[in-house]
Amino acid sequence: MFLINKNKRIESIIPLIEKQYQVLHYDDLDILFSGMNKYDNRIIGSLTEIDKENKLLRYLHVICEHKDYIDFIKNNITYRNLIEKNKVVFIVDEDFDRIIKDIYEINYLEIPEEYLPLENSFCPEQEQKYSLSYVLRFKGNLADQQKAKVEDLTTVQLGFKNFIKKGFAIINDIKLNSTVYQEVLEPKSIRLGYNINFDKNLFTNEHDVARYITSFLEYTLLYLPDDNNILLDIDKTSKNYEILKEEVKRIYQLTTVNIPNNIDEKIKNELVESISDVENISNQLGDSFNEIEIYRSDKKGDEPFGYINFEYKNKINKTAESIAIKKGLLTEDQVIQEYEIIIYHLNKLTRTGNAEIFSDKEKTIISKPRIWILGDDDLTATKYTESLHFKKRIKVSGKAKRIKDNISYLTIEFEK
């Protein structure tokens, strides 16, 4: 076995998989696998070495973000990419009876090249799982304390239900009459569970419907923001849109209902409508949580397939804005106005982020737009960072863009 400085030995359960264990590649032994630790962090592990003389198995474990794991499963990034991004990895030594002997925390550069994954170490193809049960797990801020504002959770609850219903609206000719139920999950956890029932018949079964609905949700969560240029043009398409359309046609072909002649129009209309649902969900990011992890769930566990974070929020807001421009629904302040805001997300380098805007009279939140602070001055120790760190309301001058009555974007004049 390659040598590791004994000073790097740790005593910790953080790098150990405790639940949701899944084998990604098997060859006499589990070569590549994933799971969750006690604290719901995603871990990917691999067998790197077998020491027959000392009867030891050496594993490499890396903790990765939810988004990165989905990218890995989708073959957008490699196992090597994950390790290089995280830099810190864990070496877990077990004996042949699977008793842990040592755990080390090291930089991946301390591992000899021959023991690291190859540059093309993509995830082996996995069997697709389909389910009509979904779980939303909230991360960051109050959610890490098992808390959330009622209004934030209520908006997400309704928004995700409406999002699911848009998928069924595309195939409404089949008359499945779906019902979305809220499931009660374990206490002391900020998670929402959903289960879908529908009127079954001789031609439709749960697996086929689950396969289609999962495809619809996955397309909207992972690919729709990059496809906004095709949504209002019936003749335009993309690779991922065509995959979704084939799933729609497949569910029709399993029934006695003919595929509608206007199938592209039906799909794209509901996709456009679904934008407002996921936009409403993403607008709740802030005090209560800064990320929502989305899983399909069955008796074997939860399988990640989507997420809503600030990156997605900004993408879907831009998509909604692009659609509004094409429909002639976007308006913009012609002169600089005064707004009262609380900034809850801010990148000081790009000067972009998100804020809550309050009404003049009731002092209630009316919008949660993207913001951009003009200028080149350092934002450190300004009223903008004060608002961010202390949840303080501040008055700013700027120009807003609106979709109907909702402010989607606010350009702020820098003021010292």
DSSP 122: P
Q: Residue 217's pLDDT is what?
A: 96
Backbone φ and ψ for 252, nearest 5 degrees, come out as: -65, -45
Q: Residue 187's pLDDT is what?
A: 58
Domain check: are 264 and 365 in the same one? no
Domain check: are 59 and 208 in the same one? no
**Amino acid, single-letter form, for residue 150:** V
Q: Residue 210's pLDDT is what?
A: 95
**Structural domain includes residue 122:** no
Report which of 280, 299, 311, 305 is spatially closest to residue 403, judged by C-alpha positions: 280
**Structural domain includes residue 321:** no
Q: Residue 347's pLDDT is what?
A: 87
Domain check: are 294 and 149 in the same one? yes
CA distances from 349 to 8, 316, 415 (A): 34, 22, 17
Q: The domain containing residue 345 runs over which residues? A: 329-412
**Structural domain includes residue 316:** no
**Structural domain includes residue 127:** no
CA angle at 405 for the pair 401 and 407, rounded to the nearest 5°: 35
Count of CB atoms within 10 A of residue 166's CB? 21
Domain check: are 148 and 82 in the same one? no
> Which residues are CB-neighbours of 169 under 8 A, at least 6 positions away?
270, 273
Domain check: are 94 and 160 in the same one? no
| 8 A C-beta contact, residue 310 and residue 354 | yes
Return per-residue pLDDT of the chain as tens, 416 residues. 899 999 999 999 999 999 999 999 999 999 999 999 998 899 999 999 999 999 999 999 999 999 999 999 999 999 999 999 999 999 999 999 999 999 999 999 999 999 999 999 999 998 888 899 999 999 998 998 988 888 889 999 999 999 999 999 999 999 999 999 988 676 556 889 999 999 887 678 899 999 999 999 999 999 999 998 899 888 899 999 999 999 999 999 998 899 999 999 999 999 999 999 999 899 889 888 999 999 999 888 889 999 999 999 989 988 998 888 888 888 999 999 999 999 998 988 889 999 999 987 777 888 999 999 999 999 999 999 999 999 999 999 999 999 888 899 999 999 98
**Structural domain includes residue 318:** no
Domain check: are 178 and 225 in the same one? yes
Domain check: are 163 and 105 in the same one? no
DSSP 359: -
Residue that is last in its domain, among 311, 341, 364: 311
Domain check: are 157 and 293 in the same one? yes
Domain check: are 37 and 107 in the same one? yes
Report the C-alpha gap between 79 and 34 in whole angstroms: 12
Domain check: are 32 and 162 in the same one? no
Q: Which two tokens stand for residue 81?
A: 């990419």
**Structural domain includes residue 259:** yes
Domain check: are 141 and 227 in the same one? yes
Q: Residue 326's pLDDT is what?
A: 86
**Structural domain includes residue 76:** yes
Residue that is last in its domain, among 115, 141, 169: 115
Q: Residue 301's pLDDT is what?
A: 83
Q: Give the pTM.
A: 0.84
Length of the chain: 416
3-state secondary structure of 372: strand
Q: Residue 1's pLDDT is what?
A: 87
Number of folded domains that form the chain: 3
Residue that is last in its domain, among 254, 278, 311: 311
Domain check: are 278 and 166 in the same one? yes
**Structural domain includes residue 232:** yes
Q: Residue 278's pLDDT is what?
A: 95
